[in-house]
Chain A
């Protein structure tokens, strides 16, 4: 009986190996529930680039392969264990393949693969393919993602890497993340991996990372419209927004032309709707559209009371405000449509916090322990240390609370909170509390 089983397992291993060798396009692996072997057929299924294993044989196959691995290759003490060599490489690969496909959460086995890659018994490119196959069944498997990161680090050590090769690696990686995020909601590991790959590409000389920033910014917007409570993706979106601020002026204007200056127009519209009534702002919406970045920032934030002579990049500042207000609009729209989703409200906190920090920054103010203090200029450290922690006089605080941008933001939030509250959304109250007590706006709201 046992001998029958061994023969069966050997056959299964051979079949799986054959499929993997022959079909380079293999894209998915799964275990198919079948109670017993009714027909005398191989339990290895191969259909439309998908590899399947019938469930009745999984137990036998796994036990057999796992114990052989442990007995021969992970034996203790270590000197007794076989090292990967040209003699056993093929056998070892087969065992590792099938065991990891069935149970990918075994770090020792992944480490054995790493050892084999370093000794050139395994190809890096085929290893990327294999880990993708593992992820098709277990999209939240961190060991597989970690292995990919290790592989990519090894690949990127080669400084002669051609730019088209980097491009295809980047595309593949992003594609794998897409699949994993789609398969499993709130997939922390896949979004984290995506952030990792982009951070890796930032350091790469032969790669146009700014284009990727814009692409990912656009992608995350579309993704979030359909995955409204994917909090991991909201975190990724925040990463994308920070990246967008790093894009050069020329690059951004191309994108801006592409979306037809949409962001600017919607910002102006929001401004028009929320201008504080007591301050008579002369400009109408049509006028505002003709404003340059410079004068728009001057209108919104008035003058700064920084003492140093560092120049402020008003073009970038204007872009930040545009992008964040666009985000705020987007968030309001989704909240109106889908209602009562906590993740979206938390994202809103991020946006508001970002906008307020921009203002603090502009006025050279810091918030420490709930009170406003003067901060030194980040660029030149001009401010004398004696002045640094001095509490600011009320007048300086009022300056930020009376600037147009701040009032527009507060009005926008107030109107939105009231609207949501009427609709019965309890998170609206919580958002208001957040603004009052965490952002410390209790006195001005």
Chain B
């Protein structure tokens, strides 16, 4: 039995699940917009604008969800400043939560400037470079954070950060594909986004398999309703079905829209990873060992 089973679950509320999802979309969308800011063309501007918009509002929503989860919202300041030593900064290099708090703040600042400024140019490119890297950090650090908890499943594999990052990229691309047409995106711009989305999904699927294999005997912890949802919802409906739809479009309707299905799968991925581990109570494990 992995020692991770002998730990207590964190006192998180449900706000954390949508945060992991929204943070991933915001980070992934900004990264794609940044790539086009540097290497795209004028015709890609509507896609870039959509990416920045998703990133900014996603960062705002992420901050709201995180501060609400604290219970005492103003306490978020303690993540940024030393309370007894104001205005000295609170930063612990060994803590993904500390890193993440600063990354989200700086990412939000970049997303705001990019979203607010209407046009491109060198300053926009420089901000996009910094924000794009921060975006990928915001999308991936949540998985790293889970791996650094000593909790079952999360701390039994080093692949969760990579998996969340790939999911952030695929859901970010899907969100752009969903909203950019209404902002006047051209067919060619959109095709690049959807092609990237399909490839990100393949990377995500491979990482999910590696993640499950790397769990070893702990993988048995997935023998629950969350494991079923992982196979049916995340892999089936959220990865394989949209991949098939990319190859062979199946017409109108939300269930036939690959972008909608990718977003659903990304949300379910955060749900099952969080809840599969959180549903493991030590009392039950202890009684099994004692027998």
Bound together: no
